[in-house]
A and B are shown apart, each in its own frame.
Chain A
Amino acid sequence: MTSIQDQAGATTPSGMPDLTSSSVSGNRNRVGTILTIVSGVFVAFIIIPLLLVLWDVGGRGLPLLFNTDLYTELPPPPGLEDGGFGHAIIGSLMTLGIAAAISFPVGVLAAVYLAEFGRGTRIAYLVKFSANVLTGVPAILIGLFAYTIVVRPLGSFSAFSGGVALGVLMLPIVIRSTEEALLLVPNEMRQAATGIGATRFQTITRIIIPAAMSAIVTGLILSLARAAGEAAPLLFTAFNNSFWNTDPMRPIATLPVLIYFFSIIPYKPQQDLAWAAAVVLLIIVLTASLLARFFSRAKKF
């Protein structure tokens, strides 16, 4: 007699097939449980540092943020109280602005070449390879590079040279994220536009780039967020300044560099300023990430 027993293995006393997990090897479930716990532990390893950073920096810095002097004043001379880092906020905005002005157009156009014109060519391979290598170059070396090609010829540390350093740092991120965004646009779009008589230029500028826009903007924002927190490339370039400056050809204070200098000097008011600046920087970076998520959600395909 071939019954359900022969096909389904174990049966319960009532003759129905046993569908509970105890009918299969007992080990399997235990191993599964253990692995689930292990992976949960590793997830915690990732989340806990972020929470601790937020807790620690936020705990010390947040209470200081409500003092509006922070954003409008210069730091106090050693030994005195109060003051702020308004000059460093302006400095960060300036260097980032210069960096964006350099890396956005160059990076986006390079990515357009890689994704639309140079696919499979030797030059495209070389550019991609260079961008990947550039991603791995330590930030401090990029600072030294900018020092050599901008600071030395111009004879002075400057906001401009800081912008160049950050721009070089952002360039590979911009290229790669933009290229990926363009490649995500289905080939059918290119064929459709070509099929009704659009030139390649029209296809790219009016169909492909608009279709990829939200993803491109996401990448640009993330590259800015990355550069906003960098101190190393700025040490040899923008350097630092204790006073107000809006001249791009002169040294300028920036938030990361201010945090670096103020956290290693033995004056409490300066250390407090460093904590507050750290929170401001964190808020900027987190806001940028959220903004990027918001843009990437506007999916078109």
Chain B
Amino acid sequence: MQTQVDNQTQTETKRVFKLDNVNVYYGPHLALRDVNMDIMEHEVTSFIGPSGCGKSTLLRCFNRLNDLITGARVEGNVTYHGANLYGEKVDPVVVRRKIGMVFQKPNPFPKSIYENIAFGVRVNGMKVNMDEVVEQSLRGAALWDEVKDKLKDSGLSLSGGQQQRLCIARAIAVQPEVILMDEPCSALDPISTLRIEELIKELKQKYTIVIVTHNMQQASRVADVTAFFNAEAVEKGRRVGYLVEYGPTEMIFNTPREQYTLDYVSGRFG
């Protein structure tokens, strides 16, 4: 398995994100502290951990979606191919065009299937053959055969699993480098979940994927690297999330370094 244990030069070229002492605040309250980790190219990195441990919060740091929340603040260094994501001149809109996102609840636009995909391409000002991009994106998301005859139908007319694949197609249509997935299967039935997981394994040939999941079997099935987060209580019942450890998924699930991780992955708490 290819992970961060590779030699230094290879690590440099393959590293997509580097997090140095990242703290995230919501208003005055610390939500996540001291995260140090690397995200590698063409790997699936999964974030697992109990609720409130900050894994979704961290995911939203990668495409600056936390900017939408008033009072949210990121401290420390988040670099994307060496460039500071939170640098003064960085335009979050440009960041989000390189780093796509799929959300927990399928959220297609109330437009046709075709327009759902065309929207992102248009707002990005890409000069392409739209029909081709729509077809390729839908094929990439393993949805083409199911919808090719009804591209004019509303995206909302699809089933939940299809909607989520439409959202994935929408994300890959703008040709991002990274796809962030925030519990993409939590609203889906097991069969739809399996299809999305197969899709994730295909997508990693072309994209770098970071996925937050509550489902540990899912993490063990799709992820190359797994990061385990936990939350600790601080004063007044507030909880602060932190990264316990991360490493090859096999190691995290079988021989983790920390007792906490072992307890969590073996179902003793969480």
How large, as a class, is the contact surface on chain B?
Answer: 20 to 34
B101 / chain A contacts, CB cutoff of 8 Å: 191, 195-196
B93 within 8 A of A: yes
Q: Is the CB of B123 within 8 A of A192?
A: no
Do A197 and B107 form a contact, CB below 8 Å, given A190-B68, A191-B68, A207-B119? no
Considering only residues 247-285 of chain A, those with a C-beta below 8 Å from chain B are none
A186 within 8 A of B: yes
Closest-by-CB residue of A relative to B101 is: A195
Q: Is the CB of B109 within 8 A of A189?
A: yes
Considering only residues 54-68 of chain A, those with a C-beta below 8 Å from chain B are none
Q: Is the CB of A189 within 8 A of B107?
A: yes
- Rounded to whole Å, the gap between the CB of A213 and the closest CB of chain B is 10
Q: Is the CB of A196 within 8 A of B93?
A: no
Considering only residues 83-97 of chain B, those with a C-beta below 8 Å from chain A are 93-94, 96-97
B96 / chain A contacts, CB cutoff of 8 Å: 194-197
B8 within 8 A of A: no
Query: Once the chains are docked, how many angstroms separate the CA of A252 from the CA of B41?
Result: 73
Q: Is the CB of A196 within 8 A of B65?
A: no
A301 / chain B contacts, CB cutoff of 8 Å: 110
> What does the 1/0 interface line of A191-210 toward B look like (CB < 8 Å)?
11111111100100011001
Give the number of residues in A that approach B within 8 Å (Cβ atoms).
21
- Rounded to whole Å, the gap between the CB of B50 and the closest CB of chain A is 24
A120 within 8 A of B: yes
- Rounded to whole Å, the gap between the CB of B211 and the closest CB of chain A is 15
Do A198 and B103 form a contact, CB below 8 Å, given A192-B109, A300-B110? no
Q: Is the CB of B119 within 8 A of A206?
A: yes
Q: Is the CB of A196 within 8 A of B68?
A: no
Q: Is the CB of B174 within 8 A of A197?
A: yes
Do A198 and B123 form a contact, CB below 8 Å, given A189-B109, A191-B107, A192-B109? yes
Q: Is the CB of A198 within 8 A of B68?
A: no
A188 within 8 A of B: yes
Q: Is the CB of A197 within 8 A of B109?
A: no
Considering only residues 214-241 of chain A, those with a C-beta below 8 Å from chain B are none
A189 / chain B contacts, CB cutoff of 8 Å: 107, 109-110
B173 / chain A contacts, CB cutoff of 8 Å: 196
Q: Is the CB of A188 within 8 A of B107?
A: yes
Q: Is the CB of A300 within 8 A of B156?
A: yes
Closest-by-CB residue of A relative to B91 is: A199
Q: Which of A199, A202, A211 is within 8 Å of B110, CB to CB?
A: A211
Considering only residues 165-180 of chain B, those with a C-beta below 8 Å from chain A are 167, 170-171, 173-174
Query: Once the chains are docked, how many angstroms separate the CA of A192 from the CA of B119?
Result: 11
Query: Once the chains are docked, how many angstroms separate the CA of A22 from the CA of B264?
Result: 55
Q: Is the CB of A188 within 8 A of B105?
A: yes
A211 / chain B contacts, CB cutoff of 8 Å: 109-110
- Rounded to whole Å, the gap between the CB of B81 and the closest CB of chain A is 17
Name B's A-contacting residues (CB within 8 A): 63, 65, 68, 70, 93-94, 96-97, 100-101, 103, 105, 107-111, 119-120, 123-124, 156, 167, 170-171, 173-174
Name A's B-contacting residues (CB within 8 A): 120, 186, 188-199, 202, 206-207, 210-211, 300-301
Nearest 4 CB-CB pairings of A with B: A197-B97, A188-B107, A195-B101, A196-B120
Given contact pairs A120-B70, A186-B107, A197-B124, a sample of 9 additional A-B residue pairs in the complex whose CB atoms are under 8 Å apart: A191-B101, A192-B107, A192-B167, A193-B109, A194-B65, A194-B96, A197-B97, A198-B119, A300-B110
Task: Provide 15 A-B residue pairs closer than 8 Å at the C-beta atoms, listed in order of the A residue.
Answer: A120-B70, A186-B107, A188-B105, A188-B107, A191-B65, A191-B107, A195-B100, A195-B103, A197-B93, A197-B120, A198-B93, A198-B123, A199-B93, A210-B111, A300-B156
